[in-house]
Each structure stands twice: as structure tokens, then as C-alpha cells.
Structure 1
């Protein structure tokens, strides 16, 4: 296990490449921010992602990944993840998660953010707040060499305390020259996450998906990608790319204009 994990340890030069990719991805999120509003289609958001990414000489990791047809994922209301941009218009009262991954000189920056469109219900606002807070709480308690399980041991009690649930089928992951690497980063504690550790030089995502109702999911059998809550109630997610350093976790995808730790929606 340790031999396998040592392959993920990045040199200082490689860490700088991951920082560059993370910064680019955060810049893209800030570029999209003013366009995420009522009346805009998710396909239009995807085109913005495409044009910005390729105009800068980067690549969109999701485009063509296991035949995914778009440059980003747009997941509205009860859609947990992997929503495919199309002609759906965002409308007042929606929440939408935008998940973007930019490849810069072969290295991946990965993050997602949930946006409120106009005035949203208290339930949607609360589940967004929970997802955002859980992400930052999980990152804050990471230390060099800690168990991956510390993430789930933080997220699950906090979500349950607020009356929400944590998705188990979809998890965070190692990150680097490849989109998805070991170790798996579940947002609930399990046997493997109690074994795996996060050593300095490892890069990974923390991306809890929080449901207002049941934690159970259902996949769209038609498009093969879209994942929804089984009970149709809303779901929210926030995600950052994180580098473990000798002094603790470093978030690589912080935006300038987006919500910062402690933000209240």
C-alpha cells in the first residue's frame, strides 16, 4: 500500500505545476461567475468554459472523458453530479453546481461550486451551506500523514447534525497528471480510508455531496451520466483541489471572487 502511495508524492517542481493548474481553474470559475444567472442555458455556460479554456491553450478534462460530451458538468437542484449541459435554462429558485477541470501543461486543476439563482428555498440554501462548511471543516482538520478517514469522520456527523445526508457512491480522488488517481477520498469513513494516509506531496480533491433527503442516488439510464437524488430533493456540492504539504493542507483552487471560508449564503 505504501509503495503504491509513494508514486503519488510530487516533487517541489511538480507541486508548482499543480499550483499553476489550480490557479487557472479558479480563474475560469471566476470568469464564469457573472454569467451564472436566470435565463442562461447550461449549454451556454459550457461554451464559455470551452472558449476560455482553449483560448488560453489549456484543455478541458471532461470533454471526451469516457465519452462525456461536454467541457463541464452542470447539476441543477436534485441532480447530484455529472449533469450534462444542454438547452435547459437556469431559472429563479434553482441551485446549480458547476464542476470544471482544467488541464494545464498536463496537470489537472479540479473544483466545483454551487450557485444560487435568484431567491432560493431555505432548504436549498441550508444544504448548500452544509456542503460548503463540510468541505472547509474537512480540509481544516487535515494534517501531514493523517488518515483519509478523518475527512469522512468530520463530514458525516456535521451533515447529520443539520438533518442532511452524505452521498457515498461518488467520492473525491487523487489528482495529478491523471484526472482520477488513488487514493479514493470518500466523505464517509470506511475500511480503506482508515488505512490510506495523506502524505506531503500528495494532491487530492475534497468534494462532499450533501443531500437534503435520502443519501441514495439514481443514475440516468438514458444519458448514462446524470446522477439524481432518489427522492427528488435537492443536493449541493463544493470541491477544491488540495495539496498536502509538510506544514498542512494547501487549497490550490481558491477563487478571488467566490465564497471564502466562513461565508454565509
Structure 2
């Protein structure tokens, strides 16, 4: 989607704030003993209370309002009876729709006590995302995002999951520009237009290269080879004054 009116921008900001608010309230409830289904219900209620609906449910019939991935799970974790334990690495991904507009955001959280390596992974996952976001400008190359994130990962001795990409969003959950690489991709030739709406969501890993489903579990993605992985994601609009981040929590 390319934003052309102030009304569109305000509608995108509204659903972006709702998605950010769901992440915020879910993360505050994250503690040992809570199940992923209980956490999902908190997110669902927040979406319902704000007049939004889960984008994965309405678009793909995903079995949950949100995606909650724990430890070995990289993405698309299904809410259920899994109990969160101290030391777990938990990714919460929320995408939602309101009044015909969509937004998408995600973040990874370490449940204390955790090792210094996991703390650093979470810190650097967020840094990798912002490294990519800082490349966004109208007329720039989408490839600059993946190149910058790739440089960051290499310098800090991480790998990147190379088949989970950023994407265009706005009037639908996934739209053009599709499959935006958050890793160095020589085949990426597209340019960023003013008003472009898309996500930046690198998957920074301690050794994983790709993500795949296992035979006995639909939806859930695991890294190949198996390795702890974090994801941080914002939805943004490219403007001449820099990227406008749509999925920041209220007040930020």
C-alpha cells in the first residue's frame, strides 16, 4: 500500500497503536506458570476491546488470535497448553485489522532469570531491526535494509533466518512489496516510494539459517539448524521526513 491521504495515515496509526498495545499488555503478563493460551486470551481481549480483529485468524484461519513462539519455535507458535517457564525465550507477534486497515508487530522477551547470551540476543535483535529501519527513505533501495542488517549480524557473529521476510501491508496483511529480504539479497532491485507501507522484521539467530515446519506440527516454524532466534518487527510508512513507525506503544 502507498498512503495517499491523511485519513489513510490516521487509520493506519490507529490499528498500529492497537497492535502495539496488545504486545505491551501481553508482555506485562508474561511470567512463569502462564500458558500460551492464557497469554493469547489477554491479547484477544485487548483487540476485541479496541474494535480490532486478529489478522491471522481472518486471513489464514490461524488457530489463535496471536502467534506465541517459545524457545525452539521461531515463528507461528500456536497458543495452547504450553506453560511458560523461567528462562524461556518467548516471541509475541500481533497483527490485526480495523476498518479495513492492517498492521503487524512483534517482539521477543526473555523470562528471568536468563543467561547473558540470551539477554544480548534480545538486545541485538532489537538493534538489528532499528539498523534496518534507519535505511528507509523514499527513493532508496529496499536492498539497503537487508544489507545493513546483514552487516550488523556478521559483525556481531549472528546468523539470519533467510526465508522469513518483511512484507508490504496496509489494506491486507500481506501485499506488495512482497518478500522484502532482511538479509543481503543481490536479486533485490526494488525502490522505496514515498508513502510505502511495509514491515521491517529481521530474525536474528544463534546459528539458524532457515525456518521450516516439522512434519507433525502444522504452522509452527523451527530454525534449521536448531538455534535460539529472536524477532523484532515494526510496521512503518516511508516519508520524506524519515520512516513513521506505526506500531509504537502509546506515548512513545
TM score, norm. by length of structure 2: 0.94
Which residue does 1:179 correspond to in 2? 173
Quick check: 1:15–1:201 contact (8 Å CA) kept in 2? no
Which residue does 2:148 correspond to in 1? 154
Deviation, 1:192, is: 4.2
User: What secondary structure is seen at the aligned counterpart in 2 of 1:236?
Assistant: strand
User: What secondary structure is seen at the aligned counterpart in 2 of 1:62?
Assistant: helix
User: What secondary structure is seen at the aligned counterpart in 1 of 2:56?
Assistant: coil
Which residue does 2:228 correspond to in 1? 234
Which residue does 1:9 correspond to in 2? 2
Match of 1:164 among 148, 158, 161: 158
Which residue does 2:183 correspond to in 1? 188
User: 1:58/1:206 Cα in 2 relative to 1: closer, same or farther (>3 Å)?
Assistant: same
Deviation, 1:52, is: 1.8
Match of 2:213 among 209, 219, 234: 219
Deviation, 1:114, is: 0.6
User: What secondary structure is seen at the aligned counterpart in 2 of 1:210?
Assistant: strand
Quick check: 1:123–1:212 contact (8 Å CA) kept in 2? no
Which residue does 2:64 correspond to in 1? 70
Match of 2:242 among 241, 244, 248: 248
Q: Quote the Cα distance in structure 1 between the aligned partners of 2:138 and 2:76.
A: 31
Deviations 1:67-120 (A, max 9, x none): 311111111112111111111111111110000012111111210011111111
Deviation, 1:199, is: 1.1
User: 1:102/1:218 Cα in 2 relative to 1: closer, same or farther (>3 Å)?
Assistant: closer
User: How many residues align structurally?
Assistant: 250
Point out 4+ residue stretches in structure 1 off by more than 4 angstroms.
Answer: none
Deviation, 1:197, is: 1.3
Deviation, 1:191, is: 4.0
Q: Which runs of 5+ in 1 are unaligned?
A: 1-7, 261-265
User: What secondary structure is seen at the aligned counterpart in 2 of 1:112?
Assistant: strand
User: What secondary structure is seen at the aligned counterpart in 2 of 1:168?
Assistant: coil
Deviations 1:25-66 (A, max 9, x none): 112222222211111100001111122212322111011533
TM score, norm. by length of structure 1: 0.89
Q: Quote the Cα distance in structure 2 between the aligned partners of 1:37 and 1:115.
A: 10
Deviation, 1:23, is: 1.3
Quick check: 1:64–1:70 contact (8 Å CA) kept in 2? no
- CA-based RMSD of the aligned residues comes to 1.6
